[in-house]
């Protein structure tokens, strides 16, 4: 058993980097701020989702029974307008938490680019559907279209939102799922 004279003394780390004249560290580490979700934001998000669902239902009921159905220009505007908010929402929980989050105008510019590409992917699907597949789409046609759509969508999120490819593919899948559900709510067959 060691006696008190043989005690081990652990010295405090003297730190690293430059020090001022009194010996204190001259540089302070930058503290990371976590993105906060406030109750006001939650109410805004829920309100926007409900408004979107109501508008989709009203548009679907307005054109119910008509020969042409919902005009393509309404679907195109909806796809473009839904892109940025869905991109921001997906980024909020799919982003890499080790990286500083994008905020403000930078986030919305990146989301606008991402949302526009997502809407263009829908336009590409419509082009393929009308010019290559015809009206009788089968499951294999959807699978053939989904692979390049999800791949391009994943690469878009990778480039614009700085996600990894898998998170980017999930990000695009969220947009795709939301728009498909809104189409079904409007009474438009997929």
Residue-wise pLDDT tens digits, 51-67:
999 999 999 999 888 88
Tell me what the mean pLDDT of segment 66-74 comes to: 87
Q: 7-16, 95-104, 145-154, 168-177: which has the minimum mean pLDDT?
A: 7-16
Tell me what the mean pLDDT of segment 38-45 comes to: 85
161 and 91 Cβ atoms separated by less than 8 Å: yes
Distance of CA 159 to CAs 117, 118, 145, 147, Å?
11, 13, 21, 18
Closest to 168 in 3D by CA, of 150, 181, 180: 150
Phi, then psi, of 25 in degrees rounded to 5: -60, 135
pLDDT of residue 35: 66
C-alpha dihedral sign at 162, 167, 171, 172: positive
- How do residues 122-160 score in pLDDT, each as one tens digit? 999 888 888 877 777 788 888 888 899 999 999 999 999
Q: Quote the percentage of the chain above a pLDDT of 70.
A: 89
CA dist., res. 184 & res. 56, Å (int): 9
Closest to 15 in 3D by CA, of 6, 24, 3, 7: 24
CA dist., res. 89 & res. 101, Å (int): 13
Tell me the pLDDT band of 13, cut-offs 50, 70 and 90: low
137 and 129 Cβ atoms separated by less than 8 Å: yes
> 19: helix, coil or strand?
strand
Is the pLDDT confidence value at 109 over 70? Answer: yes
């Amino acid at each position: 058993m060691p006696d008190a004279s043989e005690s081990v003394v652990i010295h405090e780390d003297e730190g690293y980097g430059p020090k001022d004249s009194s010996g204190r560290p001259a540089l302070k580490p930058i503290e990371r701020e976590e993105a906060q979700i406030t109750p006001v934001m939650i109410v805004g998000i829920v309100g926007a989702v409900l408004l979107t669902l109501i508008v989709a239902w009203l548009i679907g009921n307005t054109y119910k029974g008509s020969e042409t159905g919902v005009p393509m220009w309404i679907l195109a505007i909806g796809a473009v307008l839904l892109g940025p908010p869905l991109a921001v929402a997906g980024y909020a929980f799919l982003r890499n938490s080790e990286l500083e989050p994008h905020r403000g105008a930078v986030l919305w510019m990146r989301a606008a680019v991402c949302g526009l590409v997502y809407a263009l992917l829908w336009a590409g699907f419509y082009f393929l559907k009308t010019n290559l597949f015809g009206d009788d789409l089968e499951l294999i046609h959807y699978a053939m279209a989904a692979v390049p759509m999800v791949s391009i969508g994943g690469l878009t999120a990778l480039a614009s939102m700085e996600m990894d490819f898998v998170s980017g593919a999930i990000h695009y899948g969220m947009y795709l799922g939301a728009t498909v559900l809104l189409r079904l709510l409007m009474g438009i067959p997929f």
